[in-house]
Amino acid sequence: MKKKVYTFDVVNYILLGLFALITLYPFIYVIAGSFNDGMDYSGGGVWLVPRKVTLANYKVVFSDNGFWKAFGLTIGVTILGTFGALAVTSAVAYAISRKELRFRNFFQIFNLITMFFGGGLIPYFLIIVSLGLYDTFWVYIFPSLYSVYNMIIMQSFFKSIPEEMREAAVMDGAGELRIWLSIYLPLSKPVLATVGLWLATGFWNSYFSTMAYTRAGDLSTLQYFLMRMIKEAKVDTGGLDPSLIEQTTSTTISFAAIVIATLPILFVYPFIQKYFSKGIMIGSLKG
Nearest-angstrom CA–CA distance, 243 and 111: 59
Residues 6 or more apart whose Cβ sits within 8 Å of residue 249: 38, 39, 41, 42
Closest CA to 70 of 240, 196, 214, 251: 214
What is the full per-residue pLDDT of the chain (287 aa) written as tens digits?
556 667 888 888 899 999 988 989 998 999 999 999 888 888 888 888 898 888 888 888 888 888 889 999 999 999 999 999 999 999 999 999 988 888 888 998 999 898 888 888 899 999 999 999 999 999 999 999 999 999 998 998 898 888 888 888 888 888 889 999 989 998 888 889 889 988 998 999 898 999 999 987 789 998 898 888 777 666 666 666 677 777 888 888 889 988 988 888 888 777 766 666 555 555 444 44
Residue 204 has a pLDDT of: 92
Provide the residue ranges of all domains of the chain, joining segments of one domain with +. Answer: 59-285
pTM score, two decimals?
A: 0.82
Side chain identity at 282, as an amino acid letter?
I
Nearest-angstrom CA–CA distance, 9 and 192: 35
Nearest-angstrom CA–CA distance, 221 and 68: 10
Nearest-angstrom CA–CA distance, 137 and 83: 16
CATH top class, domain 59-285 = mainly alpha
Q: Please, is 102 exposed, middle or buried when counting C-beta atoms within 10 Å of its C-beta (0-12, 13-18, 19+)?
A: exposed
Q: Is the dihedral of CA 278, 283, 284, 286 positive or negative?
A: positive
